[in-house]
Homo-oligomer: A and B are copies of this chain.
Amino acid sequence: MKRLLANINIKVDDKIYLKDPETSEIGRNIIKNGILLIDELGLESFTFRKLAERIGSTEATIYRYFESKHKLLIYLISWYWSWQEYRLMFAISNIESAETRLKIAIRILSGEINQDMDFAHIDEETLQRIVVAESAKAYLTKGVDIDNKEGFFLSYKRFCRRIADLIREFNPDYPYPASLVSTLAESAHYQKFFARHLPSLTNIKENSEKHLEDFLLDLTFKTISR
């Protein structure tokens, strides 16, 4: 599968960057080390200056790829959801049963990562930690409406719509498919975060993904079954 993916790369909307980081060594380095450094420092303490230092380049160069650190974050999240959508479509192709397809979707959504689908310069596991801890900051801003109009959240919306479609397929009468999906997606993040940092808010134990998946499966199927 790695071989198959060698010819594929995730396309991110070109409004998000000034210069496509996939097209140069230094661009890929920005992405790769950007992920690692945001994970290490947290978004607040992360700066382009520090990143430049780390990759042996300069602030100015990074600004030629991304207008701001907000845009870099948008890029990473966008990449993540496009990747998740790709994994989803792959995993459910040729599966007949609507129930099975939905179950697979929930497994992906609950954060299971297998190594088969990785891309050279991106550490998907670290990226997922960033999405869990930082993605709320990408949309909980005064600029949401502008960013949304620019299409910055399309990949997340597309991923959610795909799963909402699976729910509708399973039970066309359930009245809240979109709300249920966004609840599942956000909950998956929060439960992971809580398990690690505020354990009294969850029953999920860290490093046992099975529990999170069970919780979400139980919630979903009890809610949508007829």
Chain A residues engaging chain B, CB cutoff 8 angstroms:
41-42, 44-45, 133-134, 136-137, 139-142, 144-145, 148, 153, 156-157, 160-161, 175-183, 186-187, 190-191, 193-194, 197-198, 200-204, 215, 218-219, 222-223
Q: How far is the CB of A210 from chain B (nearest CB, A)?
A: 13
Partner of A142, one of B42, B148, B215: B42
Q: Is the CB of A197 within 8 A of B136?
A: no
The answer to whether B182 touches A202, judged by C-beta atoms less than 8 angstroms apart, is yes
B204 near A179: Cβ-Cβ < 8 Å: yes
Q: Interface residues of A: mostly helix, strand, loop or mixed? A: helix
User: Cβ of A186 and Cβ of B190 under 8 Å apart?
Assistant: yes
In the complex formed, the residue of B with least CB distance to A190 is B186
Given A42-B141, A197-B144, does the pair A176, B157 have CB atoms closer than 8 Å?
no
Instruction: Give the Cβ gap from A67 to chain B, nearest Cβ, in Å.
Output: 16
A/B interface sample: 7 pairs, CB < 8 A: A44-B141, A44-B142, A45-B142, A156-B201, A183-B183, A183-B187, A218-B223
Chain B positions within 8 Å of A137 at CB level: 136-137, 140
Chain B residues, CB < 8 A from A144: 197-198
